[in-house]
Amino acid sequence: MSAQSVKNKKTFYSKEEKHEIVKRYRKLLSVCRSTIKPEDRKRIREAFNFALKAHEDHRRKTGEPYIYHPISVAQIAVEEIGLGATSVICSLIHDVAEDTDYTLSDIEDYFGSEVARIIDGLTKISDIFDQADYVQAENFRKMLLTLSDDVRVILIKLADRLHNMRTVDALPPKKQLKVAHETLYLFAPLAHRLGFYAIKSELEDLALRTTDPEIYFTISQKLKDTAEKRKKFIQKFNLPIRRALKEQNFDFDIVGRTKFVSAIWSKMQKKEIPFKEVYDIFAVRIILNSPEEREKADCWRAYSIVTDIYRPNPDRLRDWISTPKANGYESLHTTVMSNDGKWVEVQIRTRRMDEIADKGYAAHWKYKESKPGESGIDKWLKRIREILKTSEKDALDFIDDFKLNLFSDEIFVFTPKGELRTLPIGSTALDFAYSIHTQIGNNCLGVKVNHKLVPLNHELKSGDQVEIITSEKQKPKPDWINYAITARAKGKIKAALKEQQKKLAEEGKEILNRKLKQLKADTDQNYFNQMVKYFGLKTHLDLYYEVAKGNITIKEIKNFINDTDKTGGFLSYLKKPFSKSKDPDKIILDKEGDVIRQQLKEHPDTLLIGDGLENLNYTLSSCCNPIPGDDVFGFITVSEGIKIHRNNCPNAIQLLSKYAYRVVKAKWITKKSIAFLSGFNIKGIDDIGIINNITNIISKEHNINIRSIDIESNAGTFNGSVMLYVRDTQHLKSLIRKLSKVKGVKSVTRIGKD
């Protein structure tokens, strides 16, 4: 095969498409101009022609030529992530090995071993989310292996996912939801951890637009409506700061940054407040052009100037210059009171810090050699390697541990000698012990926090000083697994327990062999295999361990022998006391038709389910209480048939990302006179007659039956919840709108909307 130029190659593209392809390619080159060398330009041209030929008969779901996608991914890699020529080449041909007849050997022949290695990594993880849950998690572990080897694989994958989310509207609705929830589950947190704030936020915005378009477009419109007012406020706020910084001879820029829609929605949910009460919709960013040796001092000088002009909130100072985040983020954040009586967040950083905040890991490469020691991102990648080395075989446990430990925020604690240690929020004293050294963790007898003795599962807080008391006689215990939350600690504890199990199993093996000889039974390998199956165990090791622990007695061994015929086969399977029940989430639904029909409630006339939109039985999920009019999906459970969830259900991210193969379409088709239980939370200022006004609107004006009402009054305010029966979403929304206008009512929010 050979890569040919656009002019000489016969293609399936129309004249207009050829023109558009060339236009997009030239734009890519324009973006690359400042970062690539002349010889790189030639290699990029070869990669472009190679991809153009390979994908000549491929189309995207939009109907556009497929080549648009790799060009866009390459542009994101350069313009938004900050990668170089090799990554541009890999982005252009990232789907070739998977989707065409070209092989990795062909790619290596054309572009060399480095490009082939990155493409191999991209190909291995390309189908990560198209598998069943366990295989999917295994593939994710492989993806992280490539992350610890060459992070460019993950960065190009992020660029690929960002473009896929920007064009997700072309996919069928069910596929859109699957891709959006995968993005929220893994890719957005991964982008955040690698320092790509803008990409992380855009991914979350695009996911919100897909999963809850009503919320997304409502907030977007409100941002547009208030944009001009916001611009004038920022200009007025910045004016005295500009003057003061110029007087002190600072070289600087000041910009206003509006929060992303998803961040605003998250704040509204967390604080249970309406849009108009989100005070930090925007932030002011001061970017200083300071030499590296003066960065810290200049940032604090600028902070002093700002707080001389506006009064700061002492509880809202965040110093990520003295202690940067694990992803390398450095900045000073403070919240000050403006002259108009509004709180404003001010971020102060240098140009270098701003570039790292924007471009994350890629920008870190640029500055790495100028700073001694390990950066936060280097330590993070090192922690990934440790987790991969110590992780258990259970990939699903691994993926949960990874998300918990590496996508979480951090706390900072100290050793008795004052050494700083970074741990995930929620870490315990036992996690700290294992973060120091494996042996210290294994021999941990007790812990002192701030000179006071605490239990091993004591949750640490930032600023704690922790001292570990050890004893050589101490060994890890099974309940320690529940005391630790970090993947490192859990992995080390499991490894130690397994080692203990092996030693005990050796004793069990001798005991079992001795008993079988006494009973004149076989002791060959096949016989032991049958025993493992008989007692519902997984391995010989488990069998020997249970014997050593005394859980399998001589009487039960005799029962096994009596139930086994002379040829060594089973006469029957008795009830096996040691068999563990299967995890319902791992059961293959080979009897899907039977499972579907085992229902608790039937509404076949109001909801159509499945790709064929059939009338099937279902139950409504209690975690989000869906009602007619909500955007919903069906989830096939093991014991309760199909359960209906709202698209924005709190559990939707996990269900759609980890178990997408068990998700079915669902669509409301009629609005019969069926009452569905729903509810809302309501807050406001307590006044005579306000509760009566609320109940009158519910019962008389909207003719709704109230199931329960729980409202408490405290120091002039009231707060409560109301559960009632409504026909559909519009019925409930109409009621909430009416209640929101009642004098004294400050907020009305649907229960389960977050």
Hey, which residues are catalytic here?
A: 98-99
In Å, how far from its chain's centre is CA 200? 10
Read off the amino acid at residue 544. Y
Read off the amino acid at residue 144. L
d(CA 345, CA 109): 53
165: tokens are 């989310």
Q: CA 141, 144, 145 angle in degrees (round to 5)?
A: 90
Read off the amino acid at residue 139. N
8 Å CB contact between 744 and 687: yes
**String of DSSP letters for 683-715:** EEE--TTHHHHHHHIIIIIS--EEEEEEEEEET
Residues 145, 146, 150, 155, CA torsion sign = negative
d(CA 159, CA 639): 40
**What angle, rounded to 10 degrees, do the helices at 554-562 and 487-518 form?**
70
476 CB neighbour count, 10 Å cutoff? 24
**String of DSSP letters for 17-71:** HHHHHHHHHHHHHHHHTTT--HHHHHHHHHHHHHHHHHTTT-B-TTSSBTTHHHH
Nearest CA to 337 out of 314, 353, 369 is that of 314
d(CA 127, CA 182): 12
d(CA 136, CA 672): 41
Nearest CA to 535 out of 521, 556, 555, 507 is that of 556
Which residues lie closer than 8 Å to 385 by C-beta, 6 or more apart?
148
The radius of gyration of the chain's CA atoms, rounded to the nearest angstrom, is 31
Nearest CA to 133 out of 199, 178, 72, 165 is that of 178
Pairing of strands 420-424, 343-350: unpaired
Q: CA 692, 696, 699 angle in degrees (round to 5)?
A: 135
64 CB neighbour count, 10 Å cutoff? 14
Task: List beta partners, residue 425.
Answer: none
Burial pattern 653-667, b for ≥16 Cβ within 10 A else e, equals: bebbbbbbebbbbbe
Pairing of strands 705-714, 619-620: unpaired
Read off the amino acid at residue 10. K
d(CA 195, CA 363): 9
147: tokens are 């992350």
167: tokens are 């064009």
